[in-house]
Structure 1
Amino acid sequence: MRVAIIFNHPYDQSFCSAILKSVQKGLEKANHEIDLFHLDRDGFNPVMTAADLKAFRDHKPIDRKVIEYKERLEKADHLIFIFPIWWELMPAMTKGFIDKVIFPGIAYTYTNGGYSMAPRLKKVKSVTIITTMNTPKVLYRLLFGNAIKKALITGTFWKMGYKKTKWISLNRVKAVSENKRKNWLERLENRFAQLN
């Protein structure tokens, strides 16, 4: 299986970077092919320009990095997003990836006169989103409205027709023990060693 990992964190010593390593180790154990989209190292520009909006309207991306990402996504069987939650949402590069790459003509097409959507990445069977945050899970859900679920899982992937989507939320990262963090990493490695 070919797995595309969309990763966004600028700091190599972050817990997100440790998650990335564990996920990669698990996938390697299962002999999956990994295609890493490291948005920070790739120098991905998340800003949607007027020219990008015209390209959105025309369903023809013009950003060279977006076109490269499109070609790579078309070969993927599974997508994994790894990013921190900052101020209850994803960082700018992840949001820009959604805006500029999860795009009509790339990830979906409009159907029924524009009232619904259908997926275009035909090989993609499932999506996993892995996030870190310091907010307790119950507060994130009840007080802050579960923004990632609403915006990314329901408002993006479900709406486009990618129904098999899983969100792994690791909460209170700075407050939990080192043993708890190690346990999370081991569980992620084991989980992705069993991905099929």
Structure 2
Amino acid sequence: MRVLLIYSHPCSDSFSSTLRQIAAEALSSAGHEVEVRDLYAESFDPVLSEQERRTYYDESTISEGAGDHVASLRQAQALVFVYPTWWFGSPAMLKGWFDRVWLPGVAFRLSGPNDLQPRLTNIQRIVVVTTYGSPRWLLWLLGWPDWRVFKRAIRTLCAPRCRLEWLSLTGMDNCTDDKRRRFAAKIRVRLSNWK
């Protein structure tokens, strides 16, 4: 399977960086073709410009700096996202990637006011590997806002039976080394056995 791994964290020595490396190695060892896109290392520009917004619904327009990301997305059969959850959502860099890459004509088509047609039917599986500073009970109380975005918006633009798997570590603000090691091992095992 061709896997596009999108990584978003500004620090190269972060726990998220360790998780990205583990995820890429585990998927490769399972025989998958893995393309890693490190948004910060690539200096991806997450800002949707005025011109991009004005031409947003023009399906023939893909802005400079986003074209190779669009090509990667169109070739992928699965997506893996590795990022920390900040303020109950993805980092601004990742949000900007969705704004600039998941465009009309790429991720969806609007045929009318109530007719949204998915265009990423090549994507059969999505895995999110994320960490939260917050405890699980608070995320439950708030309704897991980032999970809802992926389940109700991102996944619906993919294949009809696209599977979404959420692998998260909560309580990072007070997390022990042992808990981080166990979570990293869980990621390795889960993605090494990916079919």
**What stretches of structure 1 move > 6 A for 4+ residues in a row?**
none
Which residue of the partner structure matches residue 39 of structure 1?
Answer: 39
Given the two structures, how large is their TM-score scaled by the length of structure 2?
0.91
Alpha-carbon distance in structure 2 between the residues aligned to 1:172 and 1:130: 15
2:14 matched to which residue of 1? 14
* Residue number in structure 1 paired with 2:150: 152
Q: Is residue 2:81 matched to residue 1:81?
A: yes
User: Percent identical across equivalent pairs?
Assistant: 27
- Name the CA distance, whole Å, in 2 between partners of 1:47 and 1:128: 25
CA distance in 2, matches of 1:70, 1:150: 24
1:74–1:122 contact (8 Å) kept in structure 2: no
**Alignment correspondent of 2:24:** 24
**Within 2, Cα distance between the matches of 1:57 and 1:28?**
37
SS in 2 for 1:24: helix
When normalised by structure 1's length, the TM-score is 0.91
Paired residue type of 1:54: R
Q: Which stretches in structure 2 are left out of the alignment for 5+ residues?
A: none
Q: Which moved more, 1:7-16 or 1:159-168?
A: 159-168
Q: Which runs of 5+ in 1 are unaligned?
A: none
Residues 1:51 and 2:51 aligned together: yes
Q: Which moved more, 1:162-171 or 1:184-193?
A: 162-171
Q: Does the C-alpha gap of structure 1 residues 116 and 131 become closer, same or farther in structure 2, counting only changes over 3 Å?
A: farther
Q: Mapping of 1:55-66 within 5 angstroms?
A: 55-66=55-66
Amino acid across the alignment from 1:178: D
